[in-house]
DNA sequence: AAATGCAACTTGTATATACAAGTTGTAGAA
DNA sequence: TTCTACAACTTGTATATACAAGTTGCATTT
C-alpha cells in the first residue's frame, strides 16, 4: 500500500479510533508525549495530526489538561428535527425511521434534478425511500439516490444502526465531506399529503441535497419533504 | 495592548490583508520564506499561521507553487437565492435589497424566539427590515435584530455595500463565526402575502437564524420569509 | 524554433530542543 | 483536618535544521 506521510497516518489512526469507539466522546486522548512514543515519532509530528483533528472539530485541547474527544465524527449530513416545546429544553424528539421502499438498484430518472457524471450515469443508482415519525406521527419523507458504484451487497445488507450514513462508513468506508442543500416551501401533492398525514395543498418544506463523499466521484442525493407545522428543521 | 502569540499575530495580519484587498482572490501570498523575513520569525511559525488560514478555507497551498488566495472571508451567513433556470447555468440572480424599515433601536419583544442573555436583555436591540427582489419581484422579507451593544452610530451610518455583514466587519470589526438555522414551511399571513406579492395561505419558507460572532456575547438574529415558487434557498 | 536539463524557487514532512503556562496530585506543614 | 508548595504532568509557542517533492524560468543543446 502507498506510504503516506507520518502525521497523516497518526491522524487517520486517531480518527479511526474515535469513530470506532476506542476513545469515546468525553474521553481524553493519550498525551502528546505518550502518542509520540506509541507512534515512534516526534511530538511535533503528533501535534500536526492533532491540530487537524481539532480543526475538524473532533477534539478540544486545553493547556495543562489534555485533548478531549468532543465528537465521534463531523456529521455534516445531519438534519435535526426540533419541536417547538423542545427549543427551550434543548431536547431532541425520538425519531423513528421506517422504509417506505427498501434500497434497490434502478436507472436514473431522465429528468433527475442534479447534473450527473458519465460514470454515475452508466452505473445507475440505488434508490430508497424512508419516512420519519415522532410519536407515531409522520413528519418527514425522504427519497435517497446513491450512485451504484462499488456498493457490493448494499441492497442485501441491513443498515447499520438503521442509518444510511453509518452503513456507508462502516461497510464501505465512505464518509460525507461536503453538502449542498436547497430549501423550498411547496404545496403538498396528494401523495405527500397521504404520506405525511396532512391535507393536499398544505405547506411542506422541501430539502434538496447533494452530499459529496470521501470517495471521489461518488455522491449521495436526497429529497426530503417535511411537515413543519409543529417542528423546525435545523441544518 | 495585550501581546498575543507570534503565529496568531501573523495569522491575523494576513487575514486582515486578504479581507482588506491587499491580496485579492487569485493572488499568491508572499512565500513562506519571504513572510518569515518580513515578520522576523521562523518559517515554522509562519506555516503555523498559514495552516490555520488554510483550515479556514481562505487559502489553497500547493507544493512548488505557492499559497493562493481563494476567499476573502468565510461567509457562513450567506443564503444564496437560486432560480431554477440557473441551476444548469450556475449563474446567480441579481438581487436588489430595499429597507422596509431602517435600523432603529428598540426593546426586545417579550416573546422573542431565542433565549437572550442578561446583557442582551438590558442593552435592547436594533431592528431592521429588508425586502429582497429579483427582476422587480419580491422574493424574500428579512427581519433582523442585533443586540445593541457598543454599536456606536450604527443607526445613523449608511450600510457598507448595502450589506449588514460588511458593515459589521468594516465599521465594528465583528464577523460571523457560527450559524444556527432552522427551516419551516408556513402559510403566508396577509402581511407576508402583501409584502411578497402572493396569495394569503400560500406556502412560504421561513428561516430562523442565530449568528454567533467574533464579539463574545454578541449575536445577530434574523427571520426570513421567502417565496420559493420559482427559487430555492441554498444554505 | 523546440526540447531538455538544471538551478532556484516553492510548499510538504520530519526531527530536535527549549521554555511558557495551565492542571493535578501528593507530601509536608500548620 | 486543612492548607500550601511543588513536582510532574499536560498543551502552547518558538526556534533551528534538513531534506523531499513540485513548479518555473532560463540557458544550452539539438
Residues B14 and B44 in one domain: yes
Check whether residue A21 and residue A116 sit in a common domain: no
What is residue A49's predicted lDDT score, i.e. its pLDDT?
A: 97
Q: Does B210 touch chain A (CB under 8 A)?
A: no
User: Does residue A22 sit within a domain?
Assistant: yes
List A134's β-bridge partners, or say none: A137
From residue A5, give the alpha-carbon distance in Å to each of A9, A30, A216, B26.
Answer: 6, 21, 20, 29
**Edge-to-edge, what's the strand order for the sheet holding B219-226?**
A80-83, A231-234, B176-187, B203-213, B219-226, B137-147, B125-134, B96-106
Say yes or no for a CB contact (<8 Å) between A205 and B182.
Answer: no
Q: Which residues of A touch B231 (CB under 8 A)?
A: 184
Residue A97 to residues A141, A174, A179, Cα–Cα distance (Å):
10, 22, 22
d(CA A226, CA B208): 16
| Domain encompassing residue B187 | 80-234
Q: Check whether residue B226 and residue B144 sit in a common domain.
A: yes
Q: Specify the pLDDT at position B170.
A: 85
The rounded percent of chain A whose pLDDT value lies above 70 is: 95
Beta-carbon separation of A205 and B228 below 8 A: no
Domain count, chain B: 2
> What's phi and psi for A17, nearest 5 deg?
-65, -35
Q: Is the pLDDT confidence value at B1 over 50?
A: no
Q: How far is CA A210 from the centre of its chain?
A: 11
CATH of the domain at A149: 3.40.1410.10
The CATH number given to whatever domain includes residue B23 is: 1.10.10.10
Q: Give φ, ψ of B123 to 5 degrees.
A: -75, -25
- The reply to whether A61 Cβ lies less than 7 angstroms from strand C is no
- B86 and B135 co-located in one domain: yes
Option in A55, A113, A226 nearest B55 (CB): A55
Nucleotide nearest to B29 (CA to C1'): C10
Instruction: Tell me, yes or no, whether A206 and A157 share the same domain.
Output: yes
pLDDT digits (tens, 9 = 90+) for A144-185: 999 999 999 999 999 988 889 989 988 998 889 889 999 999
Give the A window 35-74 contacts with B, CB below 8 Å.
51-52, 55
A185: nearest CB among B82, B205, B234: B205
Chain A residue at shortest CA distance from B209: A234
Nearest by CB to A208, from B55, B207, B232: name it: B232
Place A1 in a pLDDT band, splitting at 50, 70 and 90.
very low
pLDDT digits (tens, 9 = 90+) for B59-105: 999 999 999 999 988 888 888 888 766 554 555 667 889 999 999 99
- Asked whether residue A84 falls in the same domain as residue A64, the answer is no
Q: Looking at the structure, tell me whether residues B54 and B91 fall in a common domain.
A: no
User: Distance of alpha carbon B165 from its chain centroid, rounded?
Assistant: 5
Do residues B12 and B48 share a domain?
A: yes
pLDDT, tens digit (0-9, with 9 covering 90-100), for A78-96: 888 887 665 545 556 678 8
Q: Of A48, A69, A90, at which residue does a domain stop?
A: A69
| Mean pLDDT score, A43-47 | 97
The three cell numbers locating residue B123:
442593552
Establish whether the CB of B42 is closer than 7 Å to any nucleic acid atom in strand C: no
The answer to whether A182 faces chain B, any CB pair under 8 Å, is: yes
pLDDT at B13 over 70: yes
Check whether residue A60 and residue A99 sit in a common domain.
Answer: no
Q: Is A75 a member of any domain? A: no
Q: Enter the C-alpha cell of residue B214.
A: 467574533
ipTM confidence = 0.84
Q: In this predicted model, what pLDDT tens digit does every residue of B153-196 receive, in sequence order?
A: 999 999 988 889 989 988 998 889 889 999 999 999 999 999 99
The answer to whether residues A141 and A193 belong to one domain is yes
Would residue A74 count as lying in a domain?
A: no
Q: Give yes or no for B228 touching A (CB within 8 A).
A: yes
Amino acid at each position: 500500500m502507498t506510504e503516506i506521510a507520518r502525521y497523516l497516518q497518526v491522524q487517520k489512526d486517531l480518527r479511526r479510533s474515535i469513530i470506532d469507539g476506542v476513545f469515546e466522546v468525553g474521553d481524553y486522548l493519550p498525551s502528546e508525549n505518550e502518542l509520540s512514543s506509541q507512534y515512534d515519532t516526534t511530538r511535533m509530528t503528533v501535534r500536526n495530526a492533532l491540530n487537524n483533528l481539532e480543526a475538524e472539530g473532533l477534539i478540544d485541547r486545553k493547556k495543562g489538561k489534555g485533548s478531549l474527544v468532543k465528537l465521534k465524527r463531523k456529521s455534516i449530513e445531519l438534519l435535526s428535527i426540533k419541536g417547538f416545546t423542545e427549543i427551550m429544553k434543548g431536547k431532541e424528539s425520538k425519531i423513528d425511521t421506517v422504509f417506505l421502499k427498501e434500497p434497490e438498484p434502478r436507472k436514473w430518472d431522465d429528468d433527475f434534478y442534479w447534473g450527473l457524471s458519465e460514470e454515475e450515469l452508466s452505473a445507475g443508482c440505488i434508490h430508497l425511500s424512508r419516512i420519519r415519525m415522532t410519536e407515531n406521527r409522520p413528519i418527514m419523507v425522504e427519497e435517497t439516490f446513491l450512485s451504484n458504484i462499488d456498493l457490493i451487497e448494499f441492497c442485501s445488507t441491513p443498515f447499520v444502526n438503521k442509518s444510511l450514513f453509518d452503513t456507508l462508513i462502516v461497510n464501505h468506508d465512505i464518509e460525507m465531506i461536503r453538502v449542498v442543500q436547497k430549501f423550498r416551501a411547496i404545496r403538498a401533492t396528494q401523495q405527500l399529503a397521504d404520506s405525511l398525514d396532512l391535507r393536499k395543498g398544505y405547506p411542506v418544506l422541501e430539502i434538496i441535497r447533494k452530499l459529496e463523499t470521501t470517495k471521489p466521484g461518488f455522491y449521495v442525493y436526497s429529497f426530503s419533504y417535511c411537515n413543519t407545522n409543529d417542528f423546525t428543521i435545523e441544518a
